[in-house]
Amino acid sequence: MAKDETMSTSDINENDAADLREETAEAAPEVAEHDRLSALEADLAEAKAAILYAQAETQNVRRRFEKEAQDAKTYAATAFARDVLSVADNLTRALSAIPPELRDDDKLKGLVAGLEATGRELDSVFARHGISKIVAVGEQLDPNRHQAMMEVPSSDAEPGTILQEIQAGYMIRDRLLRPALVGVAKTPE
């Protein structure tokens, strides 16, 4: 009888093992399906992140291009404006070189009036294109807008104050077109 009991115990162990194999076999597709689903969800999340990154990069490129195009349009005349500034400088020097007695001479009144009108028209054209003269005399030296050419001893002005403008400076909108060449106060020795 002990032999029969052993067999029945073996039979029971084999039956349990078979049941366990069936449960594992039934559970295995669920585990495999779950792993596959998790992998697909991870792939989907990765693909969504890649798409969002690509969209953001595309938008950044578009904004950068639009800004560059706007800057090109706004500042297209920079090189030409720099060249015309020398004409404006020469016209200003010519007008300031005319002595008062010649300004009152009837023979030269027309010439002087014409030169002054040309100067006003040039200033008007500059203004239409966003070109403005930098105010320098009386201001503190700003190395972003002024270039100090000399120091002038002065007890009346604070050191670093611009006392003299040698050449006018200009801005084109918010950018420096040409710095003002200036003489700056320094403490007397």
Give the burial string for 54-85 (b: 16+ CB within 10 Å, else e).
eeeeeeeeeeeeeeeeeeeeebeeeeebeebb
CA atoms of 176 and 181, how far apart (whole Å): 13
pLDDT at 57: 95
pLDDT at 11: 54
pTM of the model: 0.61
CA atoms of 10 and 12, how far apart (whole Å): 5
pLDDT at 49: 94
pLDDT at 28: 58
pLDDT at 1: 47
pLDDT at 33: 81
Q: How far apart are the first and last CA of the chain?
A: 128
Give the β-pairing of 146-153 and 170-172: unpaired
Gyration radius from the chain CA atoms: 43
- 75-186 CATH: 2.30.22.10
Give average pLDDT by consecutive 10-residue segment, the chain, 189 residues: 49 58 57 84 94 95 92 82 90 89 85 91 92 91 93 88 93 92 89
Domain segments of the chain as ranges: 1-74, 75-186
Phi, psi of 135 (to 5 degrees): -75, 130
CA atoms of 156 and 148, how far apart (whole Å): 19
pLDDT at 151: 92
